[in-house]
Amino acid sequence: MHIIVPLRQVPDLVEDLEIDASGKDLDREWLKYKMNEFDDHALEEALLLKEEVGGAVTAVALDGGEVDKLLFTAAAKGADRLVKVRGDFPTPLNSHAMARALAGAIQGLDYDLILTGVQAVDELDGQVGVLLAHYLGIPHVSVVTDVQVHDGKAVVHKEYAGGVMGEFDVILPAVLGIQAARQTPRYAPVSRVRMAMRKSTIEEVSAEASAEGAPDIRKLFKPEKGAGAQMLEGSPEAVAEKIIHILKEKGIVQ
Amino acid sequence: MSDVLVFAEHLQGNLTDSTFELLGKGRELAQTTGGHLIAALLGKGVEPLTEQMGVAHKVVMVEHQQLAAFNPEAYAIALKAVVQSLNPSIILIPYTSMGMDLASALSADLGIPLAAYVSEVKIEDGTLMTVSQMYGGKVNVESEFSGNPKIVSVLAGAFPAEAGKVEGTPVIETMEAPNALANLRVTFKQWIEPEGGDVDITQQDVLVSIGRGIQSQENIPMVEELARKLGGALSASRPIIDNKWLPKSRQVGKSGLKVKPRLYLALGISGAPEHIEGMKDAELIIAVNSDPNAPIFEYAHYGVVGDLFDLLPILKEKLGG
Amino acid sequence: MPELIPSREVFRHFPFWAQFLFYLTAFAGTIIFFYGFYSRIRKYRQGRADNRFDHLTRRFLNALSIVLRNQTLYRGDAYAGFAHSLILWGFIVLFIGTVIVFLDHDILRLMGMHLLQGTFYLWFSLILDVFGLLFLVGLFLMWARRTLIMPYKLDYARVDRDEDEYDRSGYLADDGFFLGLLFFIGATGFLIEGFRIYADQPPWAGWSPVGWLTAQFLSLMRLSPATVNFWHAAAWWTHAVAVMIFLAYVPFSKAMHMVTDFVNLMFRDNRVPRRLPGVSETQLKEGMGYKTITDFTWKELLDLDACTKCGRCHEACPARSAGQPLSPRDLILDLRTFADATFGTGEWFSQRVKGWNTDRAVIPGGIIKAETLWSCTTCMACMESCPVGIEHLLYIVQMRRTLVDEATMDDSLQEALMNIGDYGNSFGQPARARGKWSQELDFPIKDARREAVEYLWFVGDYASFDPRIQENSRRVARIFHRLGIDFGILYEGEKNAGNDVRRVGEEGLYEMLVEDNMAVLQQAKFQKIVTTDPHSYNTLKNEYSEFGLQTPVYHYTQLLARLIDEGRLRFQKKLNYQVTYHDPCYLGRYNRETEAPRKILRALGVEVKEMPRCGTNTFCCGAGGGRIWMDDAHIKERPSEQRIKEALTLGKLDYFVVACPKDFAMYSDAVKTSGNEGSIKVCDIIQLVEEALG
């Protein structure tokens, strides 16, 4: 079975995010990127499926940022094939453009199943996975927490609010938006990543992408500060004291 | 051309809160655009639900066996047919598990623009403007739309549900189910109920809720003890559930539960919009996080910036036996 | 009158066939002995290469000195050391005596010479008699230790398996057989002598005092000369057969330590574990670390055979003491049993472990449990206490490398490693926040990347990011500033030095950190490095040189001690505190620096009470080797808590003084969790320095 996992880089939220001079995008000069955490789950689920039913996992990512490292990390974890999609992409790259570029690239590859992260923190104009499915003309299910594959179809669990799940049969090929893999995504030992850098090859394909389908961004702004919480300061001792005082006041503890 | 269409989301026979939130907001928008508020109700035998949608001018109903339970493919086909037939100005879809499948599908299929993660919708000088909570709630994006129709995918809890909860008898229009429903690649098989949760976190007065900041599963018993001392239960944000450190029944937020305890003590939770929507109505929110910029502090009543492992033992000790 | 020349007949009254039989027995014993050793050597030859053949003479003399002085055995256990000295010297002298008899009888005699006669013989008799007695006394003391005293370290109960999962009765049998057989050989030796003296009544019998005494006892039985001769022959044969059994037994039992331990001490590497080996290109291809027994080097396979089960490491190990499933002793013994099973060597009496698939199984996570390997704090107490130079840490880290390579680890460790990979620190804080702690100072710290400084201060993760420790970092900065030291830091250019990353077994990440740090260090202008963190100190000092670091590296206590010597640091105020000082493993034990901090404490005027485990024999706080990143929730009694209790046995103490950021974090917690907040306070030595400076 051929499983494709598109990987995307998202701004690392640990770092402070700054808005650029135009006010319409993040200041990307110093921005640190990391793999979208849901994509990491998608990759993990793909690797687990491969271990179960055999086949190959192909990691696909759009050029830019530290894309090579991203792909080599996937190889270190067990991806068999690495594909980098090049093209003249708009910046910032929105979900529609990304999905079009991915669709263009994936069309030329063998695939039975495409696993994407269910969402990402920067998907202003919808989820890449669902858009990709439509550009490829194949079905999709989002918010998937369990996948089993047999006889050309996938049996998946889709999760709703409150933990109720729907079970679906999906005829392959299909795109699944993975909410969580069955286990914590595995660690990629640095030596394996480095080995991949030396041993694995990244195939390059080009694709085109228009950004159409997204709203026009007027501006970015940070949520107002100060309106929020009253901050409790001091030593842990003093803070604990204050919390207990508040809880007593509200009658939550005696 | 100026109508507002709301996707009426229902799960296992009940309209969801999101539906009422969108209906309320949709009515307000329709007043500005001078159009009608129309609810798209897809399902099988769902007519009784229309009675709860008195706020809508009209309910367009599509009934088909394949629509009985939500099905990403079937619902997208049916909703697309409704949109094509009505040609509304604005389409409101909740940013929920169902909405995620529908909004993007519709946008791709019909080639119409979409804004997701939306927490605010306004019409200014005839232009639709939305605010989306991006980057885990750290940055907001204000967007505008030109042309019709456009899709707005709204975070659950962004608007009050009360405004949408009006009893009444809207006009009901039944649309014929599209033929394409006969030939689907996605088939609904069955519902799977969550494993019998040991505790119903929606019924607790006190919730001690943990997020990524708890670092490891082994730290959970310590927090559980604190919860016990406060006479409450343990809940968690999504990463904890995804890592299988706590059962699904303890998840607060999108794809988890919405809670309104008297005290919500958020430990190591940064406060992504998906989490906020599940807990922001708690009476008292106290948040502890090591990142002073964590969005949770915008929603908490009291905040503590610091190491929760320093605070926790002391707090536990002061609470006594 | 030639019969009056003091001497004795080797085969007294023996017919030819009996002599022939003896040679046959001796031949059989010798063949088995050499076969046994050959099979062991064959085993070592299957290990990976490891070039330890430099300075062979020095290595030999060094090992000889350690062995003859019993130096490593007295340390920490004088009783065992003394008893072992008696046995060792008794054995050596008796062995030499036997060799002389052999030479005299079987070689010199053929050349018409006779050495064992006259005065030489008399002295020979006396010396052998005395040492024979000491030999028996030593064996008796060891027997008493095993049966009457029963120290904890000799208890073979395992900490990682339930009682029904293994059988170690073989070990007890081996101990009994070894002691018993040696005692039997010694005792029958005296019996032969006794019967001979009883029968022959030589006038020089007094030169064999024990034999003479034995003869006196035997004579109480009033036996006929024929009976005495019969019993002499009987004792002689029993003794001879016992000796030959012993000879055959040696290479198949704990007795092999007589040979393996000398060789093992000779080939040990004194740089281990301060400096760990890297990973070669071929290893990288085959998967990092040690997966199967054939990944071990010949020296490591020899290590396994060197263990005498003395249990010193078992007793010293903080993981074992905390109830974790690791005992260095059992790790070695399991690997030995497994290596023997794999290579077809073996012991007559061994252990059995249930559920082992010995068919070339994977070791880390299989034969040795992953939890066992992850329990190690790399504190080096095992190696320090090992009398025979076993290098446990080397293969613990190698096996951890395999676990990391297979991503078998604790979630919180995974998180820490990912943080270090992403941000250069285990806290998951952005790199640019590294210098933030210095913002509260009322003077700026030089950026060593931009300005030349004398001392480059490598601050380390905990001292930079842990809010509890940042104040100590500021104290160091203020004091350096006040003393006019020209120093700077690397700000966001610094990354985790990697000491514990390497010891976790994440060698790839370690290399990456070293490369990143070296790139910044090579850019910066400085003459010396000073560090507050003993862990960073260790790797910078001992391991970075392989990657090109040339400058000297100091711990801040060393720098301060030198300033005291130079008169640049003087205290106006004497502090009237009673304190104890905890030696950090990576400073005191790894790098033997126990004096500098004590010099500072003396200069401060505080009264220092030493804990029973101090200096190079210090006890770990439980944080090293990456343990600080792993879950410690299920530990029965944390090493840090045990240590606080140890300090409290010293009576009234104002401060528990540390000189390591991790220690400060660990012990501050331990004081709280052990409920001793009222009785003792933890402080970094710098806090006292600042107080005394006023």
pLDDT number for residue A90? 86
Decide if C407 and A191 are in contact by the 8 Å CB cutoff. no
Mean pLDDT of C56-69: 94
Residue A150, both tokens: 């047999």
> What are the DSSP calls for B50-82, one per residue?
GGGBTTSSEEEEEE-GGGSS--HHHHHHHHHHH
Q: Could you tell me which chains touch chain C, where touching means 3 or more CB pairs under 8 A?
A: A, B
- Binned at pLDDT 50, 70 and 90, residue C345 comes out as confident
- Residues of C within 8 A of B221 (CB-CB) are 633
Residue A43, both tokens: 């990759």
What pLDDT digit, counting tens, does each position of C660-682 carry?
999 999 999 899 888 888 899 99
Q: Could you tell me which chains touch chain A, where touching means 3 or more CB pairs under 8 A?
A: B, C
Residues 6+ apart with CB under 8 A from A171: A139, A152, A153, B185, B186
Mean pLDDT of A172-195: 93
Mean pLDDT (chain B) is 91
Residue B111, both tokens: 């080639």
Decide if B140 and A222 are in contact by the 8 Å CB cutoff. yes
pLDDT number for residue C6? 81
Check the CA dihedral C425-C428-C430-C435 and report its sign: negative
pLDDT surpasses 60 at A226: no
Nearest to A191 among C288, C411, C418 (CB): C288
Greater confidence (C9 vs C148) lies with C148
pLDDT number for residue C1? 36
Return the residue in B138, B218, B291 with the most chain C beta carbons within 10 A, the one to mutate for interface testing.
B218
What pLDDT digit, counting tens, does each position of C583-620 carry?
999 999 999 999 999 999 999 999 999 999 999 999 99
Residues above pLDDT 90, as percent of chain B? 62
- Binned at pLDDT 50, 70 and 90, residue C625 comes out as very high
Nearest to A41 among B69, B197, B242 (CB): B242
Return the residue in A32, A95, A135, A243 with the most chain B beta carbons within 10 A, the one to mutate for interface testing.
A243
Mean pLDDT of C163-186: 96
What pLDDT digit, counting tens, does each position of C30-39 carry?
999 999 999 9
Mean pLDDT of B101-115: 96
pLDDT surpasses 80 at B174: yes
- Binned at pLDDT 50, 70 and 90, residue C360 comes out as low
Q: Given phi > 0 = left and psi -120 to 50 = alpha, else beta, which region is C539?
A: alpha
Q: What is the DSSP letter of C76?
A: T
Mean pLDDT of C90-116: 91
Greater confidence (B277 vs B47) lies with B47
pLDDT number for residue C2? 42
Domain regions of chain B by residue span = 4-182, 201-319
- Which of B81-85, B133-137, C20-24, C409-413 has the highest average model confidence (pLDDT)? B81-85
pLDDT number for residue A236? 86
Q: Domain C428-560 has what CATH class?
A: alpha beta
Half-sphere exposure of C645 (CA within 13 A, CB side): 9
Tokens 């560090």 -> residue: C531
Domain regions of chain C by residue span = 55-265, 428-560, 565-693
Q: How far is B216 from chain C (nearest CA, A)?
A: 5
pLDDT number for residue C359? 62
pLDDT surpasses 90 at C283: no
What pLDDT digit, counting tens, does each position of C478-518 carry?
999 999 999 999 999 999 999 999 999 999 999 999 999 99
Asked if residue C273 has a cis previous peptide bond (ω within 30° of 0), the answer is yes
Mean pLDDT of C518-544: 97
Beta bridge partners of A170: A154, B186
DSSP-derived pairing of the beta strands A216-221 and A113-117: unpaired
Same fold, B4-182 and B201-319: yes
Decide if A195 and C418 are in contact by the 8 Å CB cutoff. no
pLDDT number for residue A225? 62
Q: Is C429 on the interface with A (CB under 8 A)?
A: yes
Q: Secondary structure of chain A in the HEC alphabet?
A: CEEEEEECEEECCCCCCCECCCCCCECCCCCCEEECHHHHHHHHHHHHHHHHHCCEEEEEEECCCCHHHHHHHHHHHCCCEEEEEECCCCCCCCHHHHHHHHHHHHCCCCCCEEEEECCCCCCCCCCHHHHHHHHHCCCEEEEEEEEEEECCEEEEEEECHHHCEEEEEEECCEEEEECCCCCCCCCCCHHHHHHHHHHCCEEEEECCCCCECECEEEEEECCCCCCCCEECCCCHHHHHHHHHHHHHHCCCCC
- Binned at pLDDT 50, 70 and 90, residue B158 comes out as confident
Residues 6+ apart with CB under 8 A from C111: none
Q: Give the rounded distance of the alpha carbon of C275 from its chain centre.
A: 16
Q: Domain B4-182 has what CATH class?
A: alpha beta
Mean pLDDT of C70-78: 90
- Binned at pLDDT 50, 70 and 90, residue C268 comes out as very high
Question: Domains plus CATH for chain A?
Answer: 2-206 (3.40.50.620)
Q: Is C672 on the interface with B (CB under 8 A)?
A: yes
- Residues of A within 8 A of C288 (CB-CB) are 189, 191
CB pairs under 8 A between A and B: 283
- Residues of C within 8 A of A34 (CB-CB) are 422
CA distances from B138 to A24, A224, B272, B280, C68 (A): 15, 10, 8, 17, 71
Nearest to A189 among C422, C430, C508 (CB): C508
> What are the DSSP calls for C342-389, one per residue?
HHT---SS--EETT---SS--TBTTTB-HHHHHT-----HHHHH-TT-
Residue B286, both tokens: 């106290």
Mean pLDDT of A158-180: 93
Nearest to A190 among C409, C423, C506 (CB): C506
Q: Given phi > 0 = left and psi -120 to 50 = alpha, else beta, which region is C360?
A: left
Measured distance CA(B264)–CA(B276) in Å, rounded:
12
Q: How far is C303 from chain A (nearest CA, A)?
A: 28
pLDDT surpasses 90 at A35: yes
> ∠ at Cα A237 (A236, A240), nearest 5°?
80
Nearest CA in chain B to A132: B108
End-to-end CA distance of chain C: 93
pLDDT number for residue B151? 97
Return the residue in B100, B206, B298 with the most chain A beta carbons within 10 A, the one to mutate for interface testing.
B100
Decide if C428 and A187 are in contact by the 8 Å CB cutoff. no
pLDDT number for residue B1? 67
pLDDT number for residue B194? 77
Residues above pLDDT 70, as percent of chain B? 98
Decide if B222 and C634 are in contact by the 8 Å CB cutoff. no
Nearest to C411 among A184, A189, A192 (CB): A184
pLDDT surpasses 70 at C319: yes
Half-sphere exposure of A131 (CA within 13 A, CB side): 34
Measured distance CA(C362)–CA(C397) in Å, rounded:
16
Decide if A157 and B301 are in contact by the 8 Å CB cutoff. no
User: Residue C661, SS3?
Assistant: helix
Structural fold of domain C565-693:
Rossmann fold (3.40.50)
Are C495 and C513 within 8 A, CB to CB? yes
Mean pLDDT of A226-245: 84
Please tell me the CATH code under which domain B201-319 is placed.
Answer: 3.40.50.1220
Return the residue in B216, B222, B310 with the most chain C beta carbons within 10 A, the one to mutate for interface testing.
B216
End-to-end CA distance of chain A: 61
Nearest to C631 among B218, B243, B307 (CB): B218
Q: Given phi > 0 = left and psi -120 to 50 = alpha, else beta, which region is C13?
A: left
From the CA atom positions of chain B, what is the Rg in Å?
Answer: 21
Residues on A contacting C at a C-beta cutoff of 8 Å: 12, 14-16, 32, 34, 184, 186-195
Sheet containing C655-658: give its strands across.
C607-608, C578-581, C655-658, C681-684
Phi, psi of C395 (to 5 degrees): -90, -15
Nearest CA in chain C to A33: C422
Nearest to A186 among C407, C421, C507 (CB): C407
Decide if B189 and A243 are in contact by the 8 Å CB cutoff. no
Mean pLDDT of C507-532: 96
Q: How far is B10 from chain C (nearest CA, A)?
A: 38
Decide if C405 and A192 are in contact by the 8 Å CB cutoff. yes
Nearest CA in chain A to C404: A189
CB pairs under 8 A between A and C: 48
Sheet containing A174-178: give its strands across.
A202-206, A81-86, A56-62, A2-7, A113-117, A174-178, A140-150, A153-159, A165-171, B186-192
Q: Could you tell me which chains touch chain B, where touching means 3 or more CB pairs under 8 A?
A: A, C
Burial state string for A53-75 with b = 16 or more CB within 10 A and e = fewer than 16: eebebbbbbbbbbebbbbbbbbb
From the CA atom positions of chain A, what is the Rg in Å?
Answer: 21
